[in-house]
Amino acid sequence: MSAHRDPIAEDVLLVPEVSSPYEGLRLTIPDHIRLSAYWFATNFLWGALLVIMLPGEMKHMVPSDRVAAIGLLGGLAALVALVVPLIVGELSDRCASRYGRRRPFIVAGVAINLIGLVLMCLVFTTSKPLGPSGNPHFWATVGFLLSSPDFLKFLGAYIVVQLGNNIASAAYSGIIPDLVPKDQRGIASGYMAL
């Protein structure tokens, strides 16, 4: 009889055990607020970025083609948001850093995010508005946008923001299971949702 290997059981063994620093304690309201602070910040960022800033900046950069520009920015950034969390989630689950399993990814992601925001600001302040593409077809407009150095710089900076935010958010998604005792996870999720 040959030994049967269970790849799922082997995979679970690669995930280091994490003990909660709050085990046996009742989390206070300030504890819950601290644990939820990143979630508030990232939702504030995306609320301002997607609803206010991007439309305003595209109105300045490409006034006649701003809808196509926003669609292109959103579509390409969505690819980053689709792939990065899958990779970072897996890596942060197996991280055995002395700073914790999630913290190195959250810190690196926030730093990358901030760099991207600064780059977006620099591109925006130095960009000149583009004239109309002159073509009503979407793909011709996309080609026109991708031929603009200012738009490409802005797109690159926006992708850096997406990359950083998705690195940090993917790791942050494991905070409650890692830190909050099982009997308090529901209330911690409620604070985060609030």
Q: Distance (Å, rounded) from C-alpha 158 to C-alpha 163?
A: 9
Q: Distance (Å, rounded) from C-alpha 172 to C-alpha 160?
A: 18
- Give the SS3 label for residue 145: helix
Q: Given pLDDT bands bounded at 50, 70 and 90, which one contains residue 48?
A: very high
Q: Distance (Å, rounded) from C-alpha 26 to C-alpha 176?
A: 14
Other Cβ atoms less than 10 A from the Cβ of 21: the count is 10
pTM: 0.83
pLDDT at 2 over 60: no
Structure tokens at 83: 């792939």
pLDDT at 111 over 90: yes
Across residues 112-129, what is the average pLDDT? 89
